[in-house]
Each structure stands twice: as C-alpha cells, then as structure tokens.
Structure 1
C-alpha cells in the first residue's frame, strides 16, 4: 500500500500542516492522482536513514524550473514531511516518491524490499526500447505513465528497457542510468574507461554518487556508448535508488563481456555500499 501526505509550502510548514492525501495500491496509481510536477525517489536504510536528501530537494527545484514553474522548496520542511510519513507508517524499510507541484509537496511512501541478492550475483538482461524524454534533465511526472506502458511491453525475463538516441547512443533506462566499462581508445593496454551519457539523460542522485566512487577506481567519460559499440564493452551496469548498482550481463541478444558481473562493477558496488554506511543520516 502507498500512503500519500500533502504539504502546502506556500505557508507555514510545521507538522500540523502535513495532512493525509490518500492511499493507493502503487506509486504509479498515486502519481496518477497527483497534479503534474517534478518527482524524485529515494529509500531508507536501517529503517529511518536516508542518503543525500538535500540533493533530492535540489533536484526537485531544478526540475520544476526546467518545466517552467520555478519555486523554492525548503529542505527543513521536506525533512519534516518525510519524517512524518516514516512515523505514520513505521515500515521496516520504506521507499519514497516526492512530487513537487508548486506550491504543493506530496510525500508518497510504501514498504520497500531490496532486490534479491541473486540479481547482483548473476546480473540482469536489458532490452532496447523506442522511447525518449522530451525534457531529459527534468524528472517530470508526465513520463511515469509512458515508462509504465514500456515496462508492461518488455519481454518476459527482461529487467529494464534501455532508451536509444536517434544517433544510436545508449542513453538511460526507463528508471535507471546506464554505464559501460569500455576499453580505452588510447591503447589496448591502457586502463578501461567508465562511460555514461550526461547531456541527454536525467542527472540521477544515485548516478552522481556512483560517479563519485568511480573516479577513485578508473577514468570516467561522460560520452555516451553507441549501441553498435556494446560488443566491445567489458562490463555494463545500471543505477537507481532502489537498485543501487546492478550488473547488466545481456542487452537484447548480446552477451556483455563474459556474461557475468565484472570486477570493476563489483568493486564499485562495494564502494557504494561503504558510502551508504558512512553517509546515510537519520531522520528520526
């Protein structure tokens, strides 16, 4: 069950102003009942800890500005609204979707179960899809329904759909960012390069965190990987709040690398987990 709370940010933002908006069967259904706006998603760790909430607030502000409705969102008020939802539901772990349709902030919360360890041990299959964002830097709620339709059309067993640009570049997943470990163009013996598109994709908070830890491990390029170059990829993975870093071992009918999660992906997974342990902060 998804429970949604509402806060009018145009006036006082104390706890008494946080009210129940409604309950729904899914985040998708909840979003369908809310006005169009910007959204961001995050999860809890150890029940009441969250990671980089400030960046999520900034992302909402940036997105509504790109959507033509600039507005300030107070971080302290957002924290109070999220904490209110945590106290009201008391799930062991939670996933949030914040929707900002100025001046209204909606906090949707549902119980969260992490993906099974087997997916991280074996990797997942992704398929290419014909879909794109009209405003790629704005995380707009108008894309949610299109993504849901695309997920329903995925073949059985496919974990994620990868959006391909008109120029053949692998852009991002329907609800994730895409990375590929590619051989260096400089020389075969040079270190591999981690590549991910930047100009035409959502600047996800998890994506930013992965780039932080990745720069400690190997060179990083924000140049997209061409779909035609995927046979050269040593490793691939996708990232999102719910998935963190999830290895991709097959795209369409192409096996990536040796068909198993690679050493660089595994190293980044460990570093990301260490970052979570250091930085996830309590809200209650």
Structure 2
C-alpha cells in the first residue's frame, strides 16, 4: 500500500497544478533497506540544490527528515521500501511504497536496452524535474520492443540518459560516466566504488556508435544492472550495489 504526505500531512486532495501540468517540481528517489534510507543526506543535498537552481523554495532537510520518519513508521514490518521526495511551488511531497527487487538472474544475465528517438531537455537534463514526459515516452518505446530500458540522446546525438537509470560504459578497465544527462546519485556512488576497486573512471560524451564495451545501468531502483551478461571483472562492482532485500 502506498503512503503519501503533503506538507507533512496525510495526502487526500488533488495535487497542486504545478505537479500535474507544467512540471514545476524536482524530486529524488531512494531505497530503504532494513529500515535505513540509503544515502539520505546526499539525496537531500541533490534535492536542495536542484530546487534552488530552478527557483523552488526548499522546505529544509529537517522537514523531509520528519516526513521520512513518519513514513517509515507507517511500514513497521516492511523490509524494503521505495521513497520519493518532491519539492514543488511552495509544497513538499513525500511518498513511500513497498519495494520488490528485480529477479537476481537479471544481475547475472543482464537486460536489454533500446536506443530511442527521444531527447532530453537542453536546459533541464541535469535536474530531476517533474518535466518527465520524454522519459516516460522513452520507457514506453523500450517496453514495446521488449527492452528493460530506453536510452535518450541530447541535441548533438550523444547517449546521455536512461528513462529511469543512468547509463555507464565499461571498456578495457575504464568506467565511463556518460555525460549530458541527470546527475544520478547512484551513478556517483558506483564511480566511487569503482575507483576503490582499482578501475579508472572518466566522464565522456559518447555517440551510439562509440558505445563499444559493456553498458551498465545505475539507479536507486536497480542498484547496478548489467546490459547483457557482465564480464567477470564487473561482478565485484555489481555485487556491491545488489539490493540487500535479497538477504531477508
């Protein structure tokens, strides 16, 4: 069952117009494992920075921390949850729902992706805003073709983002963070872990024909998911981000 708080109170009324029509909001999503939100401070930092960049009043970390505590209390027996925290024009929204991880086989065998015809916003691509239609359309196109994820381009034809994940490319010992899309927090955590494991990490703008190597998808809902069967060199990195929900 989904639980929603609007400005700290149980939600029942329709969403404000800014949420519904012109995407005047920013949000972040995170996973809760064993009752602990993953990287909550970092998520709030991203949310605060994105809100201020778009001129949206940020209600403060403490307000969201109270919302998170209240939502966790509404699911006292839940092992894993998915949280979404949103800042709009003078309002904040906090949502929680039970989280079911992907089948473990996908982390061994990988998934399929589709390069879609959709492009990210030239000015807003780095921010996680309510202006989400291109990503929804990209995901729909991918699903119609039997793919797990749809990739989006920028105006120059670089592959910059996924509809719900941040793409990375592994090639010859180097992990490339594809630039031009959302500043994904999970992707940054993957980069930190990759450096600790001895990989080189670089940022790059890459066109579809330059994606030679092994693609990975990073996101709060998936951890680190390979596209196709991953090479052995990537297994320790993938394992570090495997959802702990499997261990209950």
TM-score between both structures, scaled by the size of structure 1: 0.76
1:248 aligns with 227
TM-fit CA distance, 1:149: 2.9
Coordinate RMSD, CA, aligned: 2.5
Runs (5+) with no aligned partner, structure 2: none
Deviations 1:174-200 (A, max 9, x none): 1111111123xxxxxxxx2111123x1
Residues 136/120 of structure 1: CA separation in 2 closer, same or farther (3 Å cut): same
Tell me if the contact between 2:51 and 2:58 (Cα under 8 Å) persists in the aligned partners: no
2:120 aligns with 133
Among 168, 181, 190, the residue aligned to 1:179: 168
Runs (5+) with no aligned partner, structure 1: 8-17, 25-30, 184-191, 250-259, 278-284
Report the 3-state secondary structure (helix = DSSP H, G, I; strand = E; otherwise coil) of the residue aligned with 2:127. Answer: coil
| Aligned equivalents of 1:222, 1:132: Cα separation in 2 | 20
**1:222 and 2:209 are equivalent in the alignment:** no
1:159 aligns with 148
| Aligned equivalents of 2:6, 2:21: Cα separation in 1 | 12
Alignment size in residue pairs: 236
Tell me if the contact between 1:136 and 1:202 (Cα under 8 Å) persists in the aligned partners: yes
Tell me if the contact between 2:107 and 2:238 (Cα under 8 Å) persists in the aligned partners: no
What is the correspondence of 1:58-97 to structure 2 with a 5 Å cutoff? 58-69=45-56, 71-90=57-76, 91-97=78-84
Deviations 1:20-64 (A, max 9, x none): 11399xxxxxx6499731011011101x11111111111111212
Tell me if the contact between 1:204 and 1:240 (Cα under 8 Å) persists in the aligned partners: yes
1:43 aligns with 31
Among 98, 101, 107, the residue aligned to 1:114: 101
Deviations 1:212-261 (A, max 9, x none): 1011221111013321122x31x221000010000012xxxxxxxxxx21
Tell me if the contact between 1:213 and 1:272 (Cα under 8 Å) persists in the aligned partners: no
| Aligned equivalents of 2:129, 2:79: Cα separation in 1 | 29
| Aligned equivalents of 2:21, 2:36: Cα separation in 1 | 28
Residues 174/23 of structure 1: CA separation in 2 closer, same or farther (3 Å cut): farther
Deviations 1:46-102 (A, max 9, x none): 1x1111111111111121222233x34422221111110121234332111111114
TM-fit CA distance, 1:116: 0.7
Larger Rg: 1
Residues 261/212 of structure 1: CA separation in 2 closer, same or farther (3 Å cut): same
| Aligned equivalents of 1:75, 1:181: Cα separation in 2 | 35
